[in-house]
Amino acid sequence: MMRRDVVFSAINRTDPPYVPIYFFNQDFDQSDIVAFDVQHHFQGPNRDQSEWGFTWERLDETMGQPRSYLLETWEDLPSLRIPDPHAAQRFDGVQEFAQQYADRYRLASLGLSGFTTMWCLRGFEQLMTDIALAPERVEALADVVFGFEEAVMTELPQRGFDGVAFFDDWGTQKRLLVSPQIWRERFKPRYAHQFDLAHRLGLHVYFHSCGQILEIVPDLIEAGVDILNISQPNLYDIPALAQRFRDQVCFILPVSYQTTSLSGTRAEIFADVQQLMESFDPRSGGLIGYVEEYHSMGMSQANYRACIEAFQTLGGYEQWRREQASAGG
């Protein structure tokens, strides 16, 4: 079984031989999932230029914030330069990427997407105000952003991708950024349209959100999410989350980047991963491990390695590798 097949088995919940792992930002040779950026928010020598036309301002090694907002007023929207979704250079290197990772599950990453791209263009506080006071303007901007993403998606099937990834944060530490009713009325239909397109194109839907989004997890599943990435499992009752949803969607979860992976001991990291394994019964599928090197937030190299070892050991990868080596010998 190729590593790509193991990921498919986890997504489809058909008894994968081990829990696959997504290495997000380094050590790709160890990763069962690899991603290729098809929306370019971090271009240029300093990776601070978005193809949408704004520049990132950073005080540290994190993503940063747009230096200025292109839509200072809604009168700027008609003149907004929309990137060409079909530009040939968008896929420069994709053939080599597919050849290099022929045995891996390949994601086409839209990177920052949807609502997040919208506020990067308009400004977060202003867009939140507009949702309440100028909803028709927000709808017009959503038409532009979501429409661009859908046009890019039509280019993906012939380029060897297995899934398309959306990264769109909707949660604070305690709740959604907007009321569930507003989200369901204004945004859920747009996501459902995108996810239906992805499925018609033969692609899985990977959806990431930071924060506490429990209120809309059923909606995301109903809209068509296949792989749900929750980056702060410390905000959730993990056993209850697994009990409620593990038969409906494949979760991709890290050791929490707010707590254990940054400040925990090796034993605590292993204990967090053990809870994931016990809660999700991963040998039946429905769970993918997630590892990200996060020294910019205070993660030590020892803790990064402990996260890898915990997933590989407790998730059965090490045993699978030994069995493969023995069979090959």
Contact call for residues 48 and 64 (beta carbons, < 8 A): yes
Report pTM.
Answer: 0.96
Distance CA 303, CA 18 (A): 22
Interval 159-211: pLDDT, tens: 999 999 999 999 999 999 999 999 999 999 999 999 999 999 999 999 999 99
The helix (run of H) or strand (run of E) holding residue 279 is helix 266-280
pLDDT confidence band for 62 (50 / 70 / 90): confident
Residue 153 vs residues 51, 149, 186, 292: alpha-carbon distances, Å:
17, 6, 22, 26
Average pLDDT score over the chain: 95
Answer whether residue 329 shows pLDDT above 60: no
Answer whether residue 282 shows pLDDT above 90: no
pLDDT confidence band for 149 (50 / 70 / 90): very high
* Vertex 65: Cα angle to 62 and 67 (nearest 5): 130
List of domains in the chain: 3-328 (3.20.20.210)
Contact call for residues 245 and 217 (beta carbons, < 8 A): yes
Specify the pLDDT at position 64: 87
Distance CA 133, CA 33 (A): 42
Interval 19-59: pLDDT, tens: 999 999 999 999 999 999 999 999 999 999 999 999 999 88
DSSP-derived pairing of the beta strands 105-112 and 33-37: parallel
3 state DSSP class of 134: coil
Interval 244-255: pLDDT, tens: 999 999 999 999
Residues 6+ apart with CB under 8 A from 252: 22, 206, 227, 228, 229, 230, 287, 288, 289, 290
